[in-house]
A and B are shown apart, each in its own frame.
Chain A
Amino acid sequence: MTAPTSSRQLAWVFDLNKCIGCQTCSVACKVLWTREDGEKQQWWCSVNTMPGLGTPKDWESMGGGRDPQTGAPLPGHQPTREEFGGGFDYNYEEVFYGGTGGKAHLEPQGPRENRWAMNWDEDQGAGEWPNSYYFYMPRICNHCSEPTCMEACPTGALHKTDDGLVLRDEEVCMGDRFCMEACPYKKIYFNYERNVSQQCIGCFPRIEAGVAPVCVRQCPGRAVFIGFLDDAEGPVHKLVKEWNVALPLHPEAGTKPNVYYVPPLAPHRLRDDMSIDHDTPRIPKEYLESLFGPEVHDALATLKSEMETVRSGGSSEILKTLIAYRWHELLGPFTVDPATLTPEPTAHQET
Chain B
Amino acid sequence: MKVERVDAGQGLADPWGQAWSALPATTVALNPVDYEAQPNRYIRAAWKDRPYGQTVEARVAAASDGDRLYIRVEWPDDPRPNAEFQDAASAIFPMNGTGALATMGDPEKPLALWFWEDGRPSPLRLVSRGPGVFRKDDGSELSARGACNNGAWGVVFAGPEAVAGKGKVGVAIWNGSNEERGGLAAVSQDWLQLETAEE
Contact = CB atoms under 8 A, between A and B. Distances in A.
A–B proximity contact (CB within 8 A): yes
Interface of A: 1, 72-76, 78, 80-82, 148, 151-156, 171-172, 174-178, 181-182, 190, 195
Interface in B156-193: 179, 181-183
Contacts of A181: 42, 46
Contacts of A153: 40
B133 A154 contact: yes
A171 B182 contact: no
Nearest to A67: B45
Given A80-B83, A81-B83, A176-B132, A75 B45 contact: yes
Contact of A154 (B40, B120, B179): B40
Interface string B115-131: 00100100000100011
B136 A154 contact: no
Contacts of B134: 154-155, 174
Contact of B183 (A78, A154, A177, A182): A154
Contacts, number: 70
Given A74-B45, A81-B84, A151 B40 contact: yes
For the complex of A and B, 10 pairs with smallest distance between CB atoms: A154-B132, A152-B42, A75-B46, A73-B42, A176-B182, A154-B39, A176-B181, A154-B182, A182-B42, A154-B133
A153 B45 CA distance: 13
A72 to B, nearest CB: 6
Given A80-B84, A171-B136, A177 B181 contact: yes
Contacts of B84: 78, 80-81, 177, 190
**Is the contact region of chain B dominated by helix, strand, or loop, or is it mixed?**
loop
Contacts of B41: 1, 72-73, 151
Contacts of A76: 46
Contacts of B42: 73, 75, 148, 151-152, 178, 181-182
A82 B40 contact: no
A68 to B, nearest CB: 15
Contacts of A73: 40-42, 45
Contacts of A190: 84
Nearest to B181: A176
B121 to A, nearest CB: 9
Interface string B36-71: 001111110110000000000000000000000000
Given A75-B46, A154-B183, A174-B126, 8 more contacts: A72-B41, A80-B83, A154-B40, A174-B134, A174-B181, A175-B181, A176-B132, A190-B84
